[in-house]
Amino acid sequence: MRLVIARCSVDYAGRLTAHLPSAPRLILVKADGSVSVHADDRAYKPLNWMSPPCTLKEGDGQVWTVENKGGEKLIITLEEVLHDSSHELGVDPGLIKDGVEAHLQELLADRIETLGEGYSLIRREYPTAIGPVDILCRDADGQTVAVEIKRRGEIDGVEQLTRYLELLNRDPHLAPVKGIFAAQEIKPQARVLATDRKIGCVVLDYDGLRGIEDDKLRLF
């Protein structure tokens, strides 16, 4: 991973156009080819980014051009570089879910039909280049469905599922792939974001899945 802290301006040219005026920012260039631009007050979410596959060209005059296969471009103009370093992070072991999330995944996989009549399991922990999808299954129409499971459903979980869907939909053997965001509790902001991205939301009844109480899933 390459970390660059620089005063820069950023222009995006694609289906829409966007401009970030000059300011100090962090630029991340990851081993998977992605490039993202971060401010100091946006937590984990970048101001702008380009997902792989894409190419980075460092031109004369400290102008970086990042272009994806669709011809969209992220143009970063570096005015002053304050820090530039590269680090080998190696293969990440991935997120280890807590006991409740792991058990929810196991229970839902075992009772996959609770997502809807005719659902069938493909596999749990379906591997991708950016980490395993909790559950991959098919609905009654045979469409592939990726399910992300959380104990508490927040915006970062929707973002994670969005990245999985973007990657899975590049596989012609799986596409089109739709998403379901499943959690014991889904925050309103996460639900709004999921709905905007056409991701279904499922509130999981942990005790119900275990068979202790009524076996219900509330679909919204």
3-class SS of residue 141: coil
Judge contact between 119 and 137, C-beta under 8 A: yes
- Per-residue model confidence (pLDDT) at position 114: 85
Predicted confidence (pLDDT) per residue in 168-192, tens digit? 999 999 999 999 999 999 999 999 9
DSSP 169: T
Residue type, 168: L
Preceding peptide of 188 cis, ω within 30°: no
Q: Which of 6-20, 72-86, 165-179, 198-212 has the lowest mean pLDDT?
A: 198-212
pLDDT tens digits for range 192-218:
999 999 999 999 887 777 774 444 455
pLDDT of 12 > 60? The answer is yes
Per-residue tokens: 44: 């984990």
Mean pLDDT over all residues of the chain? 88
Per-residue confidence (pLDDT) for residue 43, from 0 to 100? 66
Geometric angle at alpha carbon 210, from 215 and 198, rounded to 5°? 60
CA distance 96 to 186: 20
* pLDDT greater at residue 68 or residue 15: 68
Q: What is the pLDDT of residue 209?
A: 77
Cα separations (Å) of 179 from 147, 161, 220?
6, 7, 13
CA separation, residue 169 to residues 144, 154, 183 (Å): 10, 23, 23
Which band of pLDDT confidence, cut at 50, 70 and 90, is reported for residue 219? low
pLDDT at 216: 46
What does the alpha-carbon distance between residue 167 and residue 69 come to, in Å, rounded to a whole number?
14
Q: Structural domains in the chain?
A: 2-86 (2.70.180.20), 100-210 (3.40.1350.10)
Beta bridge partners of 188: none
Q: Say if CB 31 and CB 4 are below 8 A apart.
A: no
Helices (H), 13-132: 99-110
Which of 76-85, 86-95, 148-157, 181-190 is least confident?
86-95
Tell whether the model's pLDDT for residue 93 goes beyond 70: no
Greatest Cα-to-Cα distance within the chain, rounded to the nearest angstrom: 66
Q: Which contiguous run of DSSP H or E holds residue 46?
A: none
Residue of higher predicted confidence among 42 and 51: 51
Instruction: Kindly tell me if the per-residue pLDDT of 116 is higher than 50.
Output: yes
Which long-range contacts (C-beta less than 8 Å, at least 24 apart) are formed by 56-63?
56/29
pTM score above 0.85: no
Higher pLDDT, 40 or 176: 176
